[in-house]
Amino acid sequence: MRISSLFPAGDASLLGLSHLLSLLSLPLARATLFTEVPPPPLDLGPLGRIALTGNFDAISLYTYQQQRDEVLAVYNGSQSQSLIAPLPNGGLAPISSADADILALCPLESRDGSLEKLVVGGNFTSLGGIESQGLALFDPSSGTVSAISGLSGRVLALLCDSGKVYVGGDFERSNSSNAISWSRDSGFSNLPFGGFNGPVTSIVKGPHDHIIFGGSFDGLGNATTPSMKDQQMVNLETAEISAGGSTIRPGFGDPRNVVCRATKQDGEGTTWLLSDQQPGYWQSQMRFGFQPTKLRLWNTHFEGRGTKMFRFIALPDTGILNMTYTDPETGDQVACDARCPLSDDPAEEFRDFHFVNTVGMNGFRLEISEFYGQGGGLNGVELFQDDIYSYAVTDFNEPTCANIPFGSTATKTGSWTVSPSVDSSADYLSAQVDSSTASSTSVTFFPDIKQSGNYSVTIFTPGCIQDGTCATRGVVNVTGVFSRRDESPVQTFIHQTNNFDKYDQIHFGRVDAGSSDFRPKVTLSARTGQGSISIVASRVRFQLISSTGGLNGLFDYNPDENESNTNFSMSAINTAGNDLERGADVNALVYKDNTLLVGGNFSNSTIHNILSITDGRVASLSGDGLNAAISSLVSHDDLVYVGGNFTDLAGGENGKLKHVAAYSISDDTWIPLGSGVNGYVKSLVRFPVNISSTRIESAIAVSGDFSQIEESDGRKAIPARGFAVWVPSEKKWLQELDVSQMAYAGQLTTSIMPGNDTILAGTLASGGISSHGAVALREDSGLALQPLPVKIQQTSDSRSRQKRALLENNGSQAVTTGLFDKASGRNLTVLAGHFSATASDGSTIQNVLLIDGSDDEEVTGLGSGLNSNSTFFSAAIHRDSLFLGGKVMGRVSSTDVVGLVVYDLSKREFLANQPGVLEGEDVIVNSIAPRPDSNEIYVGGEFDSAGSLPCPGVCAFQADASQWVRPGSGLQGAVSVLKWVSKEKLIAAGNMTVGGNQTTLASYDAKTQIWSSIDGKSSNLITGPITALGLARQDGSRFWVAGKSGGGSPFLAFFDGSEFHSAGSLFGEQTTIKGLQVLSASRRSQRFSTHRK
């Protein structure tokens, strides 16, 4: 297709950035991370002007090795989060991928003040393929990742301050929870106050260089154990029980005799004995890990026998554990390790041993070294722990034989299988689900909660590497009911794409104890709309939280103090939190112009979800704040941008602050961003754009659960699938600006702009230049793409559902063919297919449009008469007539048209004398080929006759006589391509018969009017109908063909005049090749050599 001079135009239906992003300067990354692909040495001169048309929304040239087609992965949910850098060509490249979310970044400077590394935080378990739980270092100059090991959990906030990194989130390390510091020299260091009793979501440096923490906590502190200790029974009922040295006496040698006994009386079937006068052991091996706190043993007294001394061996480490027990005579606590005693006094029913240290294990052994009477033995063994777990594998929950009133358990629906633990601490359940089974496949966990209180509830997810499911893992929906007062379940979505084991907090707050009329529960199921995925279910932990109290979502820390100060009233920031209603959730902090802005989910009589603190004075904002929670704050120039779930001021006075707004600290005023967006905003991120040729500027990228930018001031709503960009300098959304744009899909979670570098984080992917189905290919100073000046819109036809949407729109707006017309002084571009577009006068164009380069690029259509459901596949010009073919129906010039219509370009109206109607079961015209130096127009496709003339597959229209003639009589079938290689020779491709013989290629001699099959050696390489043909030589002696086999596999082959040669398996199963163009090379190149034949 050849193209005239065109000017760029914006397309409001797509999200994009100016292609001038290529001016971004990335000195660190560009030198080592981006590898330029040499341009192909193509000679486009003989083709003249060129355009690419098809069923696409965006297109790009492959100019950097780091370019990837990530857009489809974004929309099918398989795209992982990455560190992302803008490419010099305006695209985006993932430079280090994580297996879950990247939620925080901060620059770690070297001692001379230059950027050394980026600290990366999130809920990932690996970054760049390096195992690192929640925290890692990234070197932007080399692209390498270094692990920061030692955390267990997720990182939500980072602050880098003079070589020290303050880390906040939902994690544990040593004796600190949810807040800790790290430095390159000393690693992790506990903060003096020991962390918080709830997650930290934001950290900023505030007044007097204090460090301000925000989150969901009400005090300093850590996890604690329940007041009723040792209440969770470790399941021995389903364990693998074995023994060494057991007696052969019938009824006494089975080591399972002492597990889960209803009676502890000595006797056959209830007592386990060792052989006489021999030491031995009793052993239990589980398929899950645990940390026992108490061992309870019943000694046997059968025939005067019994265990006198034993030791507890942890497995698999085989270490001897220290324990304590109560001396029944003195009441003193006595320690023991290798020689722990049991009494032979029948009055002592059992003896409890408490473990001195918390040690993880998946089995244990009781080694009996001394005994009473003739030999040792036991009457009962029980093991307890403080940890409160519910396992998906029911065998790991509390034993049913113990008759615990509300013991831990789990139920499941759907088809689940047990997967071995391998690298995890316990076996777990796995399921394969698709759209038909996702809603009916679930696991519900029921914990054994004996003490009501505040708990941290976490769900564990096994890593995908161990079971080989990384390619199919998806997102699960987790819901929880924790208190009888809950009006609706707590809900969250958890990504299970982690390479290694991880856990996520799903609830922090009150959990009621189990009873006959209420039980806390957590349900895991697949999130709908993901197609076929793998999901896993392991375990849920409930951890009771202790607290100093005295805080409410805010904490002011003075790093110059080495001891924790619990006199919280000394700080106006701490006091500000306590003046709010209890349970405040602080989600975002910004310190700007001596003012601390606090955003989240909180309120009191005058403050709603946002407040300011200046010189110790706490104030509400204009309008008393916003009417719902705030999730994100970001500072830019004189304003602070605010995103969240709000729709207006708390007083309801504005109406345009829908989910996103700007606030001026100096004026205490709210500034709308248009009218906002139509859904929840998760994050606001500074984002570089270039909307002019002179400067790069920061914009605000908005990510969340929305589908459009709201209409505003007469402008219609703009589709925006979860991502939009506000340009502060223009006071407009980027999609409103009339600039050439890059098309993007996905979202951002955070960004950082140290110096001249830009690093983004999220799933954002670039699809290339925004252009709906047609783009110009230029060769001014190297290959470049340029959108056509036309706005192609979504169609409402049901066939739109067949398209796999690449970007914002879901419709099928396909430009399938086009051409250029320079005859008779015209300068026209013709685009045809199946689409809707907007004409220059604002009217709607259906399926065919004309761009007049001689009239200021005016865009017009053909007028009325054709069915809007028509689809055009072919076009050709003969003199002043535009021939258009396809699946076409309508009535023009008082004449029915089927398959083919002719338009008079000189009069700008349909030809009064249309060709006779093509007939057949389902008429389609695939190709139109005017014969050189002739008035004959050859038409190929799927039809049986033209008017009353039998003319299957190929028919010729004589323009001067306005009549159809049949070219020869030997060809029948479906024709996809017609190509004239001379005035007398025509090549046809498709699925045909010639002389009754099946063929995919045929030639026609116009002089003799005879059809012949084109055969050659290895013709079996042509495994199905041909859909495209490209001439390698103009005389037709050599050419390329493409199509699909009967099994659906695409093929591409070269014909050298006598033999076919396969190009190999270059394309995926979903590929359909519609067109081929053979290009000549401007110089010899081994990389772009022609076929050896």
Instruction: Tell me the pLDDT tens digit for each residue of 678-712.
Output: 999 999 999 988 776 566 788 999 999 999 999 99
**pLDDT at 760 (0 to 100):** 94
Q: What is the pLDDT of residue 223?
A: 55
What does the pLDDT average to over 394-405? Answer: 88
Q: Which residue in 799, 951, 836, 936 sits closest to 881, CA to CA? A: 936
Is 393 within 8 Å of 425 (Cβ atoms)?
A: no
Please count the CA atoms within 13 angstroms of the CA of 16 that sit on its side-chain side.
30
Query: Which of 141-155, 632-646, 741-755 is predicted most confidently?
Result: 632-646
- Cα separation, 601 vs 606, in Å, equals 14
> Phi and psi at residue 619, in whole multiples of 5°?
-140, 150
Mean pLDDT for 478-507 is 90
Q: Identify any residues that bridge with 50 across adjacent strands, giving them in sequence order.
A: 777
Confidence of residue 809 (pLDDT cuts 50, 70, 90): very low
CA 633 to each of CA 591, 754, 765: distance values in angstroms, whole numbers, following the listed order: 10, 19, 24
Six token digits for residue 459: 């769900």
Is a pLDDT exceeding 80 seen at residue 1072? yes
Q: Mapped to the 3 state alphabet, what secondary structure does 585-633 carry?
A: EEEEEEEECCEEEEEEEEECCCCEEEEEEECCEEEECHHHEECCCEEEE
Structure confidence by residue, pLDDT tens digits, 863-891: 999 999 999 999 999 999 999 999 999 99
Which one, of 684, 701, 676, 703, lies nearest residue 632 by Cα? 684
Are 757 and 27 in contact by the 8 Å Cβ rule? The answer is yes
96-222+560-760 and 232-385 share one CATH topology? no
Residue 19 scores a pLDDT above 50? no
User: Looking at domain 96-222+560-760, does it have CATH number 2.130.10.10?
Assistant: yes
- Using the predicted structure, report yes or no on whether residue 55 has a pLDDT greater than 90: no
Rounded to an integer, the average pLDDT of 1030-1048 is 91
Q: Which CATH architecture has domain 388-544?
A: Sandwich (2.60)
Express as a percent the part of the chain with pLDDT over 90: 64
Domain spans in the chain, listed from the N-terminal domain onward:
96-222+560-760, 232-385, 388-544
How far apart, in whole angstroms, are the C-alpha atoms of residue 69 and residue 86? Answer: 15
- pTM for the predicted model, two decimal places: 0.75
Contacts of 74 (CB under 8 A, 6+ apart): 745, 746, 763, 765
Give the angle 316-317-321 at the CA atoms, nearest 5°: 115
Q: Which band of pLDDT confidence, cut at 50, 70 and 90, is reported for residue 801?
A: very low
Confidence class of residue 818 from pLDDT cuts 50, 70 and 90?
confident
Tokens 């270039």 -> residue: 690
* 507 CB neighbour count, 10 Å cutoff: 22
Structure tokens at 817: 């063919």
Task: Give the number of residues written for the chain.
Answer: 1093
Mean pLDDT of the region 731-744: 82
CA dist 785 and 740 (Å) reads 11
pLDDT at 789: 77
What CA–CA distance (Å, rounded) separates 283 from 293? Answer: 18
What pLDDT score does 1091 carry? 43
The better pLDDT of the pair 111, 347 is held by: 347
Res. 270 pLDDT band, cuts 50 70 90: very high
CATH number of 232-385: 2.60.120.260
Q: Convert the pLDDT of each residue in 155-188 to its tens digit.
A: 999 999 988 999 999 998 877 889 999 998 899 9
CB-CB contact of 116 with 183 (8 Å): no
**Element of type H or E holding 906:** none
- Residue 599's pLDDT band, with cuts at 50, 70 and 90, is very high
Rg (CA), the chain: 37
Reduced to 3 states (helix: H, G, I; strand: E, B; else coil), residue 439 is: helix
Residue 32 pLDDT > 70:
no
Give the DSSP H or E segment for 577: helix 572-578
Range in 377-386, 601-610, 630-639, 766-775 the model is least confident about: 766-775
CA distance 918 to 120: 65
Q: How far apart are CA 440 and CA 446, in angstroms?
A: 19
**Single-letter code of the amino acid located at 74:** V
Strand order in the sheet with 918-919: 918-919, 945-946, 949-950
Write out the two tokens for 804: 């796999």
The closest of 197, 150, 192 to 174, measured between CA atoms, is 150
Yes or no: say if 292 and 384 are a contact pair by the CB < 8 Å rule.
yes
Give the residue from 17, 5, 1, 19 showing the smallest Cα distance to 789: 5
Overall average pLDDT of the 59-73 stretch: 65
pLDDT at 1083: 60
Chain-wide mean pLDDT for the chain?
87
Residue type, 561: E
Mean pLDDT of 307-323: 96
Strands 453-461 and 502-511: antiparallel
Q: What local confidence, expressed as pLDDT, does residue 627 receive?
A: 95
Instruction: Express each pLDDT in 554-563 by its tens digit.
Output: 999 999 887 7
Residues 910-948: pLDDT tens digits? 999 999 999 999 999 999 999 999 999 999 999 999 988
Closest CA to 427 of 523, 291, 286: 286
1005-1014: pLDDT as tens digits: 999 999 999 9
For residue 948, the model assigns a pLDDT of: 87
The whole-number pLDDT of residue 142 equals 87
pLDDT given for residue 798 in this prediction: 35
CB 81, CB 98: distance < 8 Å: yes
Going by pLDDT thresholds of 50, 70 and 90, the confidence category of residue 569 is: confident
Instruction: Tell me the percentage of the chain whose pLDDT exceeds 70.
Output: 89
Give the span between the Cα atoms of 1044 and 1022, in whole angstroms: 9
Q: How far apart are CA 634 and CA 440, in angstroms?
A: 41
Report which of 581, 570, 635, 641 is spatially closest to residue 606, judged by C-alpha positions: 581
The position carrying tokens 């023994």 is 243
DSSP 1019: G
Nearest by Cα to 372 from 265, 300, 311: 300
Q: With beta carbons less than 8 A apart as the criterion, state whether 163 and 146 touch.
A: no
Residue 644 has pLDDT above 90, yes or no: yes
Q: Is the peptide bond before 399 cis (omega within 30 degrees of 0)?
A: no
* Across 1074-1091, average pLDDT: 64
> Token pair of 892, please?
């023009």
Which of 74-83, 494-503, 769-778 has maximum average pLDDT?
494-503
Ranges assigned E (strand) in 351-404: 351-355, 361-372, 377-385, 388-391
pLDDT digits (tens, 9 = 90+) for 448-482: 998 888 888 999 999 999 999 999 999 999 999 99
**Which sign does the torsion angle of CA 570, 571, 577, 581 carry?**
positive
As a whole number of angstroms, the distance between CA 688 and CA 396 comes to: 52
Which has more pLDDT, 796 or 159?
Answer: 159
Q: Which two three-digit tokens encode residue 342?
A: 């049991």
Query: Under 8 Å CB-to-CB from 798, ≥6 apart: which residues?
Result: none
Alpha helices by DSSP H, listed for 505-555, are none
